[in-house]
Amino acid sequence: MTTPVPEGGIAGDLSQDPARAPSPDATRPRTVAIVTGMSGAGLSTALKCLEDLGYEAVDNLPMNMVDALVEQGDLLSRPVAITVDARTRHFSSDALMARIEALAARPDLAVRLIFLECADEILQRRYTETRRRHPLAVDRPVADGILRERTLLAPLKERADVTIDTSLLSIHDLRRILAGHFKLSAEPTLHVFVTSFSFRQGVPREADLVFDVRFLTNPHYDPRLRPLTGLDAPVAARVAEDPDFEAFFRHLTDLLQPLLPRYNQEGKSYLTIAIGCTGGRHRSVFVAKSLAEWLGGQGYKVGLTHRDLERSGTRQG
């Protein structure tokens, strides 16, 4: 049951195709996911995503009730997701840190702190569009509230197990990232997500590994290929014909082959690999698609997206 508090941020329909997982193994520590971060970064949306994954979700919980919730009889066998943030009465980063450390010391709990980040200008735009007041700037400009909150939350961001920047994420991207990290499954299988992107739009902040393919032949300069994308056969053929492509791709897969099993052994359940070029339309799209196909052939669970393909238009790719 989620107790909603209007929080803004990422908007979208979470009611379709919920990804509820089976109950976790009772012999394993019970997951307690604590969600915090910048107001307007999508905290309530993230909590709803976790609820759809099978967590008992509680929004805007007072800190003095965290222990009581974890000990509640009818929840003892269920994972719990909680938002605690600047909206919460008597919020204190130090008090929340102390509460988290106390819970993390318990062998029966697996406590994970999720911090949602977002660029200041995007937060300001979201507050302007929704015409809401920032919780820490009731009688001040939104920018003042954002700065005050960023300072207040700095220790929690440093402590976070997972930090997600929602600046350029859609609701589906956020759902995918949370599912990758927090899906309820006893299966210790590494899920690899590959995304292409444009360096003009910035490096995906959720990326674990980033590869730059701007050295490859750029189809943008061929008027026949410019309107196409790396998903089209003529563009794929042009990039693949680059004399350095074959060696690069072989070295890339040779690098990943020993790394991925080690990530899996260390308990990492989700890995994001980002492939970038100038416009995110031609080279990176083809290489990301090729890498995803290779990973699938190695037996990994693979997701693929092209972050900037639609927004890149006819820009240099």
> Number of helices (H) and strands (E), helices first, in the chain?
10, 9
**Residue 108, exposed/middle/buried by CB under 10 A (0-12, 13-18, 19+)?**
exposed
Domain residue ranges in the chain: 30-182, 191-312
Q: Is 85 annotated as a binding residue?
A: yes
CB 200 within 8 Å of CB 284 = no
The yes-or-no verdict on residue 286 having pLDDT over 70 is yes
Output the pLDDT for position 36. 93
pLDDT tier at 73, thresholds 50, 70, 90:
low
What is the rounded CA–CA span in Å between residue 210 and residue 253? 14
**For residues 306 and 264, which has the higher predicted lDDT (pLDDT)?**
306
pLDDT tier at 1, thresholds 50, 70, 90:
very low
The yes-or-no verdict on residue 6 having pLDDT over 50 is no
The yes-or-no verdict on residue 25 having pLDDT over 70 is no
The yes-or-no verdict on residue 82 having pLDDT over 50 is yes
pLDDT tier at 153, thresholds 50, 70, 90:
very high
The yes-or-no verdict on residue 132 having pLDDT over 80 is no
**For residues 275 and 141, which has the higher predicted lDDT (pLDDT)?**
275
pLDDT tier at 37, thresholds 50, 70, 90:
very high
Q: Is 159 annotated as a binding residue?
A: no
pLDDT tier at 19, thresholds 50, 70, 90:
very low
What 3-state class would DSSP assign to 64? helix
Cβ atoms within 10 Å of 168's Cβ, excluding its own: 18
What is the rounded CA–CA span in Å between residue 138 and residue 283? 47
The yes-or-no verdict on residue 74 having pLDDT over 80 is no
The dihedrals phi and psi of 179, each to the nearest 5 degrees, come to -65, -40
DSSP 282: S
Exposed e or buried b per residue across 218-254, where buried means at least 16 C-beta atoms within 10 angstroms of its C-beta: bbbeeeebbebbbebeebbebbeebeebeeebeebee
Token pair belonging to 44 = 């309530």
Any idea which of 128-132, 140-144, 171-175, 280-284 has the lowest mean pLDDT? 128-132
CB 300 within 8 Å of CB 235 = no
Output the pLDDT for position 111. 92
Position 120, amino acid: D
Q: What is the arithmetic mean of pLDDT over 192-207?
A: 92
Output the pLDDT for position 296. 94
Q: What is the dihedral of CA 124, 134, 171, 152, to 10 degrees?
A: 100
Q: What is the arithmetic mean of pLDDT over 231-250?
A: 97
Q: What is the arithmetic mean of pLDDT over 52-78?
A: 79
CA atoms within a 13 Å half-sphere pointing along the CA-CB vector of 42: 30
In this structure, the strands spanning 191-198 and 301-306 are parallel
CATH of 30-182, one of 3.90.1170.50, 3.40.50.300, 3.40.1080.10, 1.10.260.30: 3.40.50.300
Q: Is 88 annotated as a binding residue?
A: yes
CB 283 within 8 Å of CB 219 = yes
DSSP 146: H
**Percentage of the chain exceeding pLDDT 70:** 86
Output the pLDDT for position 185. 66
